[in-house]
């Protein structure tokens, strides 16, 4: 069994850190500090997979003897990527656009040991169907939860769940930012037992 103390999360996200702490007691975090701009004509699935791999590879250069976990996520509405809103107005605009529609979240995961030779790369899809939302309901939600740093302008782990009609995913924590079922499987492949 491999020790879990040599695991590094390639992220500065407090959401991913909290999720990883649910299954691991010892790990480090390090921001990968990469350019996340999509390439021209890059599909969302390709984009998130590339970023998870790039994050893991960048951090693994500083931690060659560690297992490095990289992850990324995009929210897609009608073929377009919705980024983090950063402002109240943009969050309200995004949620109004999602009202009554289905969006897809693509959450990538790259678990890397000793460079690319020891990597496991996957993308988990989560389908979210929004209820029909009234404008004042959207505004109250944004003011209450301040989801300005969240792709899609909501926090599914909080009040954002009340915006949905349905949610479908093989890995429920993927929507929050780190697919723990998929991650646990990747770690087991490296003989890292969580239980």
Residues annotated catalytic, as ranges = 72
Q: What angle do CA 86, 79, 13 make, to 5 degrees?
A: 35
C-alpha to C-alpha distance for 85 and 129, rounded to whole angstroms: 19
C-alpha to C-alpha distance for 121 and 119, rounded to whole angstroms: 6
Of 13, 118, 2, 1, the closest CA to residue 60 belongs to: 118
| Residues 6 or more apart whose Cβ sits within 8 Å of residue 47 | 38, 39, 72, 74, 81
Of 71, 52, 67, the closest CA to residue 112 belongs to: 67
């Amino acid at each position: 069994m491999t020790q879990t103390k040599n695991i590094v999360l390639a992220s500065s996200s407090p959401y991913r850190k909290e999720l990883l702490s649910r299954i691991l007691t010892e790990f480090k975090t390090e921001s990968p500090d990469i350019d996340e701009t999509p390439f021209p004509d890059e599909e969302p699935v390709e984009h998130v997979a590339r970023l998870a791999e790039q994050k893991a590879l960048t951090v693994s250069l500083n931690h060659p003897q560690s297992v490095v976990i990289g992850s990324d996520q995009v929210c897609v509405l009608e073929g377009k990527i919705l980024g983090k809103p950063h402002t109240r107005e943009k969050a309200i605009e995004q949620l109004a656009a999602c009202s009554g529609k289905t969006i897809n979240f693509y959450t990538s995961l790259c678990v890397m040991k000793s460079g690319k030779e020891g990597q496991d790369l996957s993308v988990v899809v989560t389908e979210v169907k929004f209820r029909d939302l009234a404008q004042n309901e959207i505004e109250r939600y944004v003011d209450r939860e301040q989801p300005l740093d969240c792709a899609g302008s909501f926090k599914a782990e909080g009040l954002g769940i009340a915006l949905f009609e349905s949610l479908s995913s093989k890995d429920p924590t993927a929507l929050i930012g780190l697919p723990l079922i998929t991650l646990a499987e990747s770690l087991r492949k490296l003989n890292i037992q969580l239980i």
